[in-house]
Amino acid sequence: MKYGEYLRKAEILAHEAIVDINNACYNKAVSALWFMIEAILRAILNRYKQSMPSKSGAVIAKTIDFVKDLGFGAEDIKELNVASTLYTLRNEVDHKRTVANKKTVQKALLCARKTLQVLRRLMLDRVPDVVFTIDNIASKLDKVGP
């Protein structure tokens, strides 16, 4: 997939997450929120011509390694780890006995918003298209809540 396609996919997944939240489809919403973040992470890696891991969890690790290589500090890395929390929530909902409820979606939304904030700060002045997409998604997510 190409860089721009990942960004477009992230916007589509954000829209789907909002629709799912508004319709109390919380399991689907948690998954869509994770896959939205994953699409943005993949867009960043693709934009910088980094190798693309095939597994979702590896995308977080690869992005963290890449961010370290860009010279960002330990605090930035620590903040980016919130994406791992969202990934874990998604994994529990999709592959374990967990059934998402309002509280689960609230936590997923918090993780997604925080991840977007961190990625925006890290990509500011580097990749305007990513920042634009993040701003667009964040403004929509700010208007939703279970």
C-beta separation of 62 from 50 below 8 A: yes
pLDDT band per the 50, 70, 90 thresholds, residue 146: low
- Please write the tens of the pLDDT for every residue from 5-53: 999 999 999 999 999 999 999 999 999 999 999 999 999 999 999 999 9
Domains, the chain: 3-141 (1.20.120.330)
Q: Which tokens go with 126?
A: 């580097």
- Please write the tens of the pLDDT for every residue from 71-85: 888 888 888 989 999
C-beta separation of 1 from 46 below 8 A: yes
Query: Is the pLDDT assigned to residue 97 strictly greater than 90?
Result: no
Which is nearest to 140 in space by CA: 53, 9, 13, 46?
13
Q: Which tokens go with 54?
A: 């095939």
Does an H or E element contain 121, and which?
A: helix 102-123
* Predicted structure pTM score: 0.95
Amino acid identity of residue 60, one-letter, is I
127-142 per-residue burial string, b: 16 or more CB within 10 A, e: under 16: beebbebbeebeeebe
pLDDT of residue 112: 97
- Please write the tens of the pLDDT for every residue from 114-142: 999 999 999 999 999 999 999 999 999 99
